[in-house]
Amino acid sequence: MRDGRVPSGDAAFSCPRLVPAVCRRGMHRISRTLGDTIGPGRARIGRKTRSGQGFGMVGLAEQGPPGHPMGGRRPGVIGPGRARRVEMKISMAVAGLALALVCSAGGAVSAQDAGGLTDAAQIRVGQVVSLTPERRASLDAAFAWRAGDEGVLSAEIRVGEVFRERAGSYEKQGRMVAKVRERADMATRMIGEARSGLSPVARDAVVHQTDWAAAMDRVEARMEGARARLAPSLLESFDDIDLHAFGVPDGWTEEEIAAVLMATGDYEYVEPDWRVYPHDTTPNDPLYGNQWHHRSGFMNSVRAWDFATGGPDIIVAGCDTGVRLTHVDLASSLVPGFNAVTNLTQAQGGVVDDTLNGHGTATAGCFGAIGNNGTGVSGVGWRFGVMPVRVSDRSDGVANLSDILQGARWASDNGAFVANCSYGGANSSQANSTGVYIRGNGGLLTFSSGNDGIEDQTTDRPAVIIVGASNQANARAGFSNYGVGIDVIAPGSNIYTTQRGGGYGNSTGTSFSVPLTAGALALIKAANPTLTNLQVEQILYDTALDVGTPGEDDFTGHGIVRVGEAVEMAVVGPSHIDLPFFDDFAGGVLSSLWRNPVGVIEVNQNAAGLDAGDYAMNLDATDSIETVALRAAVLASSVGEIRFSTQHRGVEAGESLLVEYRDPIGNWYALATVTSDGADQSEFVQHRMAVPFLGMHDDLKLRFTAQGSDGGDEWFIDDVRVGVFVSNQLPWSTGFENGIDLNFDWAASDAVATTEAPNTPEGTFSARLTGAGSMTSRNIDVSSGPSTLYARLRTLHTGVPSGQTLTVEYRDFLGVWQPLGQITSNGVDQTAFALNQFQIPFGAFGLELAVRYTASGTSPDHKWYIDDVAVTEEFVVDPVDCPADLAAPFGTLNFFDVSAFISLYNAQDPAADLAAPFGTLNFFDVSAYISAYNQGCP
């Protein structure tokens, strides 16, 4: 709202013209009255009211001042003995509401505009699309726009939320619902819209002239207008909660329609009316209970099935002894196969049936037994395409490695995403060559490690996923081979699966660990088809349960496969990640590193000072968002750093951005509060702090919450980082206003922060070194710094004998301390800080530059004060010294300078202390000023 207007749905009252910016402070008072009425917090929170337990906003909607038509559908919600007091507060609240309305000037708010997206798969939050005349016409036909809605239907629409559907669980159907705001919520909204640009004088004038009944009529009219707007497309209304179902107009997506309607400010939410299905992610296969490996404590397949169950478009090839074509739990999922021994496809007469051994039928059931069909068991995927690739014609199942790999390549060429080989040979060069070939097709190759319990995977084959076995104790099975080539392990003991005879039974060995892993890879891909094969593989590793030596090891690789966690990461991103955490919001979309948004969180380019192509996260009003959980326990043995940059625009003075962190038991604590001064910022301000002790655990989260009052309060957040502190970046500077920072600025220091030095150049603090004390900075990264770099410090000495020094050194790229310069005392106490700058030699450039200051004193009375420390490319030139030039216009001495000195002198200000004895203002200071004035400015 730029001009004091608020949407009304009809004509609106306007503020007196004698005061152009009306009502702001009065709205604050009214909002505070509303807060007193409903209890702590903002008036908009609190939707439930219980007798005797406080009076929420529902009370405002349902219990009005005497004689006012405020509904009264639930009389008596206010506890006994409180009615009179609450009625008085309601009167003030209604006065505020009326003030908001009388101070409005019509027209609907235009926070979101209209445009068009036609490809739902490409929609992202914050995306802006043009609105063509044809699409505008379709909107006009679909909705009965109110008189003040024109601002909503401007040239573009900004998508505020993307609605993701999941086939077989919840699906879009061209039908949406809109919830009209509660009466109290609508009132609060209208008050908030009227807050900008209001003055106390006009506010008071309006309050005394308000017609309260008309004010409440205005609320009712706006609510009725919100309902009427939907009428042309209305399908059904649920009057008990003021919810209305309507059809999505042709050519529009649900996201676009939601953005348009939410922009009116009249709805609590607008979302799809999902077509939903019974949600049973535990399959109904009668023998599923025998499959321990699917349970939550192991592979956690049941969790994965909440997100995806796999369809026939994802094909897994079993390069094995064939598959029993008539097995009831496999037959309908089979796709055409290949016989690698005879080099014949199934269509050419190649035999792919498992007629001799049964090994291939058992492995195929691990990844592809049909799930939730009321029969037998369930594979990792319920409906994968199962491709039989027969590689052996012997009853013992023995095969040539070249045939196995030929079959794997054929499978990849013919649509298989994973080619599974439950055979030896993973450690060979030809297996890796085939893996490279398959990866070039966008697929993956899996092999078993072997069952001899020996170290024979002695070579890392990066293009082959080599799988060992785990047991029901979540440990490596004793029979599982190991070595540097092992990538993961998966359940391999007593795996209940399909058998060649048409039934089911237990099978043991790494031969059954690897098809479970192949199924996990396929289900990750099914859950998020946009992932590349390498991303799928990395998700498998990132989510594995680390059960061996921390990190990847030769016995368990990355750990035990957890398909539940892997699929969840593929769909919604990781729930936990290792440090460092970093997000600069590149690409303009909110990444999977963020969770639990409250409000519409955008990533856009609306902040000032962003370079082309850069984005920042945007919060307004009371928006809030959290990071994923961070594994921060490693910070207990190092310095942890939290860093982020902020910028505020349109935020009233005193409103703030709250940054919190979560402790190990889930409590939230304030980490920082960034408060607006009311002036729009033109650049970002960086904030840096140490990770608190209670944040050093593996479930750390950060939360950012805007504490504003309306949608015009915009906070921009960028470059969020949490991790181990490594080095400072250029330019590095400190003024000691927060003390001697041993976390980030100083690695060691004998100095103390003090305010005793006069005329400090920055703030009131400086660092004091006494005797032979020294201070050493932390590392400064100048590996890609400018060609010219300076070390700067300002110094003042007292009590330091003539000839004593403060030595300035730098650490070069070899780690050797080298002299940079010396500052020598003349034995005369200084009353002003002197600027010292030294050019840093090129030999210092690297990742670990540091500076060190060392005094040569012999007594605690030998004091050096240091301030305005920096390592920077900036060379500072102090203004010409003209001590008599105390007032504007600077550079010229006149009456204003004399007057300024007299004022300083009369106020006993130290700035007038120009001559000894220092600390006392007397005739000598006046004489010194007259002398300086007569000398003039250079």
Strands 656-662 and 624-627 turn out to be unpaired
Structure tokens of 790? 């300076």
Q: What is the pLDDT of residues 406-433, one digit of tens each?
A: 999 999 999 999 999 999 999 899 999 9
Q: Which amino acid is at 535?
A: Q
Amino acid at 848: E
Distance CA 84, CA 628 (A): 48
* pLDDT for residue 860: 95
pLDDT tens digits, 655-666: 999 999 999 988
Considering the domain architecture, whether residues 556 and 596 belong to the same structural domain is answered as no
Contacts of 798 by beta carbon, 8 Å cutoff, 6+ apart: 829, 830, 863, 865
Q: Rounded distance, CA 160 to CA 171, Å? A: 19
The per-residue DSSP string of 723-750 comes to: EE---B-SSEEE--TT---TTTTEEEE-
439-451: string of b/e by CB count within 10 Å (b at 16+)? bebebbbbbbbbb
Residues for the chain: how many in total? 938
Domain closes at, from 872, 898, 921 = 872
CA dist 833 → 64, 761, 851 (Å): 66, 7, 20
Domain match, 561 and 606 both = no
Q: What span, in angstroms and rounded, lies between the C-alpha atoms of 35 and 48?
A: 15
**479 falls within a domain:** yes
384: amino acid identity, one letter: F
Burial 831-869 (b: 16+ CB within 10 A, else e): bebeebbbebeeebbbebbbbbbbbbbeeeebbbbbbbb
CA distance 54 to 46: 10
pLDDT given for residue 441 in this prediction: 97
DSSP secondary structure of 136-150? HHHHHHHS---TTGG
Q: Which of 555-559, 687-691, 693-697, 843-847 has the lowest mean pLDDT?
A: 843-847
Take residue 270 and report the two structure tokens written for it.
Answer: 């607008």
DSSP state of 289: G
Write down the pLDDT at residue 194: 61
Across the chain, mean pLDDT equals 83
Residue carrying the six token digits 């502190």: 725
Question: Which residues are CB-contacts of 588 (< 8 A; sequence separation ≥ 6)?
Answer: 124, 126, 603, 604, 605, 615
Task: Tell me whether residue 484 is in a domain.
Answer: yes
In the numeric block, which tokens belong to residue 242? 């003021």
Long-range CB contacts for residues 527-534, cutoff 8 Å, separation at least 24: 527/304, 527/307, 527/308, 527/567, 527/570, 527/571, 528/570, 528/571, 531/570, 532/442, 533/417, 533/439, 533/442, 533/443, 533/444, 534/439
Instruction: Give whole-number Cα distances, 655 to 67, 705, 713, in Å.
Output: 37, 11, 9
Residues 889 and 851 in one domain: no
CB of 676 closer than 8 Å to CB of 652? yes
Residue 417 in any domain: the answer is yes
**pLDDT tens digits along 99-131:** 333 333 333 322 233 333 345 556 777 777 667
pTM over 0.75: no
Contacts of 906 (CB under 8 A, 6+ apart): none
Whether the predicted pLDDT of 583 surpasses 90: yes
**Which one is predicted more confidently, 283 or 170?**
283
Can you tell me the distance from the alpha carbon of 435 to that of 444, in angstroms, rounded to the nearest whole number? 7
Q: Which of 842, 872, 902 is the last residue of a domain?
A: 872
Asked if residue 371 belongs to a domain, the reply is yes
Distance of alpha carbon 367 from alpha carbon 201, whole angstroms: 75
Apex 86 CA angle, 81 and 88, nearest 5: 120
Residue with tokens 């702590």: 40
Q: What percent of the chain has pLDDT over 70?
A: 82
Q: If you average pLDDT over each of 47-51, 147-151, 496-500, which comes out highest?
A: 496-500
- Do 430 and 494 sit in the same domain of this protein? yes
DSSP structure class, residue 366: H
Domain match, 602 and 527 both:
no
Q: How far apart are CA 360 and CA 334, in angstroms?
A: 13
Structure tokens at 614: 């850069």
In a domain, 807, yes or no: yes
Where is the domain boundary, 819, 848, 872? 872
Q: Does residue 85 form part of some domain?
A: no
**Full 3-state SS string of 748-776:** EECCEEECCCCCCCCCCCEEEEECCCEEE
Q: Could you write out the DSSP letters of every residue in 615-654?
A: -EEEEETT-EEEEPEEE-GGGGGS-EEEEEEEEEESPPTT
The lowest-confidence range among 424-438, 568-582, 635-649, 752-766 is 568-582
The predicted pLDDT at position 417 comes to 98
Are 867 and 883 within one domain?
Answer: no
Q: Which tens digit of pLDDT belongs to each residue from 869-887?
A: 999 998 887 665 678 888 8
The structural domain count of the chain equals: 4
Torsion-angle region of residue 759: left (phi > 0), alpha (psi -120 to 50) or beta? left
What would the mean pLDDT of 379-398 be, rounded to a whole number?
Answer: 96
Same domain, 844 and 884: no
Contact yes or no for 9/148 (Cβ under 8 A):
yes
CA separation for the pair 804, 920 (Å, rounded): 28
Q: Are residues 856 and 924 in the same domain?
A: no
| Rounded Cα–Cα distance for residues 869 and 65 (Å) | 63
Task: With residue 542 as reference, give the H or E element that holds it.
Answer: helix 533-542
The pLDDT tens digits for 70-82 are: 233 333 333 333 3
Q: What residues does 320 pair with on adjacent strands?
A: 390
- CA terminus-to-terminus distance, the chain: 52
pLDDT band with cut points at 50, 70 and 90 for residue 211: low
**Number of C-beta neighbours around residue 695 at 10 A:** 24
SS3 state at 929: helix
Q: Are 522 and 475 members of one domain?
A: yes
What range does the domain containing 597 cover? 589-612+620-705
Task: Judge if 738 and 787 occupy the same domain.
Answer: yes
- In this structure, the answer to whether residues 298 and 394 fall within a common structural domain is yes
Whether 469 is covered by a domain: the verdict is yes
Q: In 3D, which of 392, 406, 318 has the Cα closest to residue 362?
A: 318
CA distance 772 to 760: 22
Distance between CA atoms of 654 and 223, rounded to whole angstroms? 32
Q: Mean pLDDT highest for which of 23-37, 228-242, 270-284, 797-811?
A: 797-811
**CATH code, domain with 794:** 2.60.120.260
304 lies in some domain: yes
Do the beta carbons of residue 515 and residue 364 sit within 8 Å? yes
Residues assigned a catalytic role: 320, 359, 511
pLDDT at 273 over 70: yes
Q: What residues does 495 pair with on adjacent strands?
A: 507
810 & 693 share domain: no
510 three-class SS: helix
Eight-class DSSP state of 849 = B
* Secondary structure (3-state) at 440: helix
Q: Per-residue pLDDT averaged across 772-789, rounded?
A: 89
Which range (30-34, 224-228, 456-460) has the least confidence? 30-34
